[in-house]
Structure 1
Amino acid sequence: MNISMSRIQAIFMKDYKEFSRNYAVSVMVFMPLVFAFLYNKSGSATIAAYFFSINIAFSMVTTYVQCCLIAEEKEKNTLRSLMLSPASLVDILIGKSLFVFIITMVVVALTIFIAGYNPANLFILAIALILSTVFYIALGTLCGLFSKTIMEGSLITLPVVLIFTCGPLTLALSSASPIVKIAEWLPSSQLVLLAEALEGSYTTMDIIIPIASIIVWSLVTWIVAGFIYKKRMVD
């Protein structure tokens, strides 16, 4: 499997130009920063409050921007040409994801800084945040493949924003309702549980289970996205 850095760079620059021209998409990077600023001013210094802003960054920046960039390609009928180009599946997926990955890392870092969050173990948390970024990019890719226009992409990502951002807020109710307990296994919820464990005396399993859960979510989502992508090539 050959990976062409020149093709990846070309796709990266193309996404950067499209992102900078589309203000309806690029303005979304400010949403988690606004929430982080409000939480900081309100004096709410809880893990749940910090990660509400971080999960908003993942759903409203990572997933939304990735979805809209792919949907815009489909709307302009350029994704088909990209699929039929000499660029391999890996070249295209890395090229289409690299820009969003960098944007996400910058936004998440700024969100943590503005919110005033000081993680107890930055190294372990950074690994979880990187893995979460990989998952949400896969989710955005999947949403984009099902969208024909940017407008459709905006609507498709709404359930993602609601489920993965608000899911961790239901953890307090998980003991009262077995159905709500399912939300505990969402990647966003596992991220919160990991951060809470790191603030106290944690065990190895407290780290392995959340990280393993996020990895499984990422693998499954990327496999499905790759399958749908290949299906679109012969559609």
Structure 2
Amino acid sequence: MASDFKREIERASRVVVFTGAGISTESGIPDFRSPGGIWTKMSPINFDDFLRSPEMRREAWRRKFEIDKTLIGAEPNKGHMAVAKLVDTGKVTHVITQNIDNLHQNSGVPAGKVIELHGNGTYAKCLGCGLRHELEEVRVLYERSDEPPACRVCDGILKSATISFGQAMPEEEMRRAEEATLACDLFLAIGSSLQVYPAAGFPIVAKRNGARLIILNREPTELDEIADLVIHDEIGPTLAPLVMLN
């Protein structure tokens, strides 16, 4: 099966890689949605509640900084490095990711080739003027005041630069992801349960447009039956030999 995988990649000219939480769990980052994940232990805060309630905003930031403690020191693993190598060779045109951990960029993938469908949790943005705020700055504001942190320029609401439950998907990223998907001849879905829509619809779009579809995930997915190749295995150990990583 590994030889089939390698052959599919070699004969493709425009590969899109689509990644979910499974590629980052091998870096020690927890999967929010799986059984035993963070969202099974606490209900996520809806975007409308975040906007409406200062108490919900304080709680959201409390959770954010608490969760981030578990992410300190997380580094790209062999799966990330293998994807970065494929991007570097020109084989992979874009990496579409559901992850918010910035590990694809940290592995060496140019930021312009990473399409973050669910945002990025390594910084914050003002919902008013859009200004980026570094998390350490926000942490200082949070710890020295009883009020939710606010933008230093327009006093608008600050929020982690991620897409919350109930928040609209980012239009520009969705557009870019669709364009990349329609232009590819091989769509490689890695570490995703392919259950969270609309993101999980991209493999279907690729397949219907004539691209080959490979799914690499530890567990079966709902789209396995339409894939040209399915591998249920660890991600880093499966991908690393394909690009000859030690």
Given the two structures, how large is their TM-score scaled by the length of structure 2? 0.29
Higher strand share goes to which structure?
A: 2
